[in-house]
Structure 1
Amino acid sequence: MENNAKKLLEKYLSGNCTPQEQAMVEEWYLRLPFERKAPDHGIIEASKEEVYQRLKLTPKPGFIIRLKHIAVAASILICITAGLIYFVGINNTLTPVAKTQLKDVLPGRNKAILTLANGRVVDLDQAKNGEIASQHGIIIRKSQNGQLEYEIQEDAAGLAGSNTISTPRGGQYQVSLPDGTKIWLNAATSLKYPSAFASNERVVELNGEAYFEVAKDQKRPFRVKTAQQTVEVLGTHFNINAYRDEPSTKTTLLEGSVKVNHTGTEVRLNPGDQARLTLANNALTTIRDVDVEQETAWKNDVFSFNDDDLKTVMRQISRWYDIDVVYQGKISNDRYFGEIPRNNNLSEVFKILELNHVHIDISGKTLTVTGN
């Protein structure tokens, strides 16, 4: 969270913000007097020099940083360093928010179902640590830190059939495949993979979102198939967001190189690139220099939003807290920036949404967002 804020503050101080970004920063500043942990004016003034050092500013000749900008940056940086959560919607209306008592909902946790090739179903949340299954010379274990691990024995026989690990809404899990590949599964995700990979390729099928650290194997390319595309790698780190309720499938590369193929159209990604398949028009495009920290924030237990609309925000919250979201009335086109820790209870997220003038009511596991 702090790194993202620093980047934006650097742009603000250097005068390179867009009007929208400038409005966002100054809205943070204006909001601080209403936050219990906001610093007073004396602390802000005394911290201006620290802001220069923390942001590592090197003003260009003839460049003047306005004192107001330093005061704004100092106040925001102090709050972020102290752990103050920020979540800002641009162009929010000031309509009073209805106060609703929210029955608290815990955040998601390590929770998944493993379906073996023979049809046996294992609840990994309830399974004890240690060996949980053995099939055709392959041992499947649940580790002390709640991960799924595979070990191939020397006498492993030729295999047929696939395993599937599925996380529900409100769940996440990590699996280490027999070839050494590590995969993190986000909520509401399923991964289908063979009991043992073939001699010439490694193929898995994904529905949802997962982060991959693929073990290098020049002789066996690793392929991830989703409903709309195939991603091919030899050994690399990347994230795929392929939820069926999202408007696009996004493949973000952090390390190495990948090829993304959609119905014969192929793009090759370099680190920092994102392949975006827009489902409405079946167009596959490449976005350069994306914020990979934001795209993989979920893996580090953070919701991260950057110019996202309310429905995009709520889809993530719905998956992680296992709630249904419905909408009434005209929903605004406000855009949201900021981060929320995913280990917060839903009541804490609810308070943040209220600060941003989001009208919410909840009944059971259904959360209703009401527009103006």
Structure 2
Amino acid sequence: MEVKNIRKLLKEYLLGNATDEQIKTVDNWYQSFENELPVKLSDQEAAATKQEIWEKIAPSITVERKIWTMPRYMKVAAMLAVVAGAGLTYFLLTKKETAPSQIAYTTISTNNGERKTITIKDGSVLTLNAGTTIRIQDDFSKQRNIDIVDGEVYFDVQKDAERPFTITSGSLTTTVLGTAFNINAYKGINKIDIGVVSGKISVARDATTLSVLEKSQGLEYNKETKAFKPVAVDQNMLAWKEGRVILNDISFDEMALLMKKNFGVDIATSDKSIKATKYTTELFTKMTPDDAAEVLAAIHGLKIRKQNNQIFLYK
């Protein structure tokens, strides 16, 4: 039976205008479903299915109270639920689950001690510091999104008023139209530093704007406390692009991380006082790992001992 004829039959049945033969046909059809295994739906899915059925039936019928009977409606609803319920539920659930997977990204990384400059598809130029990983959205047709997974990146962004350039770094989102700026967001360091060289950017956390930064302005964000403060751009912010590694009053763990990222060397100690020391010095990426460790130790009155693949600091 064609679909249009089935619809006509059900409509006549609901309105009480069906012939005895038509009523018998519908009742026999309904009876045949009693031998079928019921579709197992959750309460939420059953409610959604019932609402879907009603929304499709209601607009096409005008029912007089003296004719309308609940049992027939329930029969038709049950039949339609058996036929369409599982498919409808599967479609809705599948649609929700597959939508996010449509966004594709390309991952680019630098090794420890490696720096890399790349030009992406919109003409923007990105310079990645050592030990950095970023994800670039493949489709730039509507928006330009980049995620700093770990590390530090200098951005020189092409202007495009129609497609804002957005960078996610941890819980912060930086949005620009066209400008040059730096974001330091290494996972092992407790703060994120953002500094603007030219243009203007907006920095937000969870859709709340923290600051709008212009040339020579910066923002320092504490990952642990979520506190932030405006800062003037440090003249050494881009020292890494010149092959210099600036350690400025940082903890032992942060120092060890930057030594690993820039020189590929593991720094360790068993001395609690050395662990509690703050480290400040300037090193050059052209140094060998041993030389860099020697300079670091000498400036802080320490000695080094090589053991396996590690350098231990001691007094």
| TM-score, normalised with respect to structure 1 | 0.52
Which residue is equivalent to 1:112?
none
Which residue is equivalent to 1:164?
107
2:125 is aligned with 1:182: yes
Which residue is equivalent to 2:270?
328
CA distance in 1, matches of 2:280, 2:265: 22
- State the shift of 1:193 in Å: 0.9
Alignment of 1:297-316 (within 5 A): 297-316=239-258
- State the shift of 1:160 in Å: 6.2
- State the shift of 1:331 in Å: 3.0
Residues 243 and 285, structure 2, Cα contact 8 Å, conserved in 1? yes
Q: What is the one-letter code of the residue matched to 2:258?
A: Q
Residues 266 and 309, structure 2, Cα contact 8 Å, conserved in 1? yes
Which residue is equivalent to 1:7?
none
Question: Kindly tell me: are residues 331 and 295 of structure 1, through their superposed partners in 2, closer, same or farther at Cα, counting changes over 3 Å?
Answer: farther
CA distance in 1, matches of 2:281, 2:267: 21
The structure richer in helix per residue is 2
CA distance in 1, matches of 2:135, 2:303: 39
- State the shift of 1:352 in Å: 1.4
Q: What is the one-letter code of the residue matched to 1:223?
A: T
Which residue is equivalent to 1:231?
174
The root-mean-square deviation of aligned C-alpha atoms, in Å, is 2.1
Q: What is the one-letter code of the residue matched to 1:295?
A: M
CA distance in 2, matches of 1:211, 1:290: 14
Which residue is equivalent to 1:359?
303
Alignment of 1:8-19 (within 5 A): none
2:243 is aligned with 1:290: no
Residues 265 and 284, structure 1, Cα contact 8 Å, conserved in 2? no
Q: What is the one-letter code of the residue matched to 2:259?
A: I
CA distance in 1, matches of 2:144, 2:111: 25
Residues 294 and 305, structure 1, Cα contact 8 Å, conserved in 2? no
CA distance in 1, matches of 2:206, 2:313: 38
- State the shift of 1:309 in Å: 4.5
SS at the partner of 1:171?
coil
Q: What is the one-letter code of the residue matched to 2:148?
A: L
Q: What is the one-letter code of the residue matched to 1:344?
A: M
SS at the partner of 1:295?
coil
SS at the partner of 1:246?
coil
SS at the partner of 2:290?
helix
- State the shift of 1:325 in Å: 2.5
Residues 265 and 289, structure 2, Cα contact 8 Å, conserved in 1? no
Q: Per-residue displacement from partner, 1:298-339 (whole Å, max 9, x unpaired)?
A: 111111233444543332111112222223122345555442
Q: Which blocks of at least 5 consecutive residues in structure 2 are unaligned?
A: 1-101
- State the shift of 1:202 in Å: 0.7
Residues 264 and 289, structure 2, Cα contact 8 Å, conserved in 1? no
Residues 180 and 199, structure 2, Cα contact 8 Å, conserved in 1? yes
Q: Per-residue displacement from partner, 1:107-151 (whole Å, max 9, x unpaired)?
A: xxxxxxxxxxxxxxxxxxxxxxxxxxxxxxxxxxxxxxxxxxxxx
CA distance in 1, matches of 2:227, 2:141: 32
Residues 196 and 233, structure 2, Cα contact 8 Å, conserved in 1? no
CA distance in 1, matches of 2:117, 2:144: 18
Residues 162 and 195, structure 1, Cα contact 8 Å, conserved in 2? yes
Aligned with 2:192 (options 246, 249, 263): 249
CA distance in 2, matches of 1:181, 1:364: 42
Q: Per-residue displacement from partner, 1:65-86 (whole Å, max 9, x unpaired)?
A: xxxxxxxxxxxxxxxxxxxxxx
Aligned residue pairs, count: 210
Alignment of 1:61-80 (within 5 A): none
Say which structure, 1 or 2, has more relative contact order (CA 8 Å, 6+ apart).
Answer: 1
- Structure showing greater radius of gyration is 2
- State the shift of 1:369 in Å: 2.5
Which residue is equivalent to 2:140?
197
2:312 is aligned with 1:368: yes
Query: Which deviates more, 234-243 or 168-177?
Result: 168-177
Q: Per-residue displacement from partner, 1:212-262 (whole Å, max 9, x unpaired)?
A: 101111111100012211100011111111111101111111111111111
Which residue is equivalent to 1:345?
288
